[in-house]
A and B are shown apart, each in its own frame.
Chain A
Amino acid sequence: DTAVSQTPKYLVTQMGNDKSIKCEQNLGHDTMYWYKQDSKKFLKIMFSYNNKELIINETVPNRFSPKSPDKAHLNLHINSLELGDSAVYFCATASRKSNEQYFGPGTRLTVT
């Protein structure tokens, strides 16, 4: 039973399109994150939600909009996709009691 799942695993789309990536966790954690990992493997935080409330919003273009319908889900919607958005996007969770982060399998986004 997967703790943190993401869909889709691969996403190939053209510039200008709008796409969404979904994340679900069954760990009961309060905090969820979206990270972007570029081609150099640098993992950078984009957003963090705690109990459905946005608490971290790093310098990310407003074309990226996270949405948390409930504590178990954090989706990422991207408008007007650009070539530079190509990367692997990871969802992660953490509990208040522990600082460990649990990552999903990643979504490889390719914008052509």
Chain B
Amino acid sequence: SQKIEQNSEALNIQEGKTATLTCNYTNYSPAYLQWYRQDPGRGPVFLLLIRENEKEKRKERLKVTFDTTLKQSLFHITASQPADSATYLCALGRESSASKIIFGSGTRLSIRP
């Protein structure tokens, strides 16, 4: 069956460092992968989408890589700030009319001052 794993349930790093979160998947061939941010008591917020034919995507301090051979995506936050503390979810999807995406269980990131 399809499986998505985010390697750490929680990650704590020092402010200013680069945070790197990992998303691995098995038994699935996604057309794209997304990353969302979720704060306590709120719904997930879309951050970035990367397609299967793209190796890397950037948005401000965020960078996402996608390796379909390794079946892995890395999500980087450079120059991390305490305000980046949140849970980050990866999600996989295929291009279809159903538009169904599958979410990982998330990594709770804490940036300490």
Contacts and interface: CB of A to CB of B under 8 A. Distances in A.
B101 interface: yes
Contacts of B99: 31, 48, 50, 94, 99
B34 interface: yes
Interface in A56-101: 56, 90, 92, 94, 98-101
Q: Interface range on chain A: under 10, 10 to 19, 20 to 34, or 35 or more?
A: 20 to 34
Contacts of B41: 105-106
Interface residues of B, number: 25
B82 to A, nearest CB: 21
Given A41-B106, A43-B103, A101 B97 contact: no
Interface residue SS majority, chain A: strand
B90 to A, nearest CB: 11
Interface string B74-113: 0000000000000101010101011111110110000000
B91 to A, nearest CB: 8
Interface of B: 32, 34, 36, 38, 41-46, 49, 87, 89, 91, 93, 95, 97-103, 105-106
Interface of A: 4, 31, 40-45, 48, 50, 55-56, 90, 92, 94, 98-106
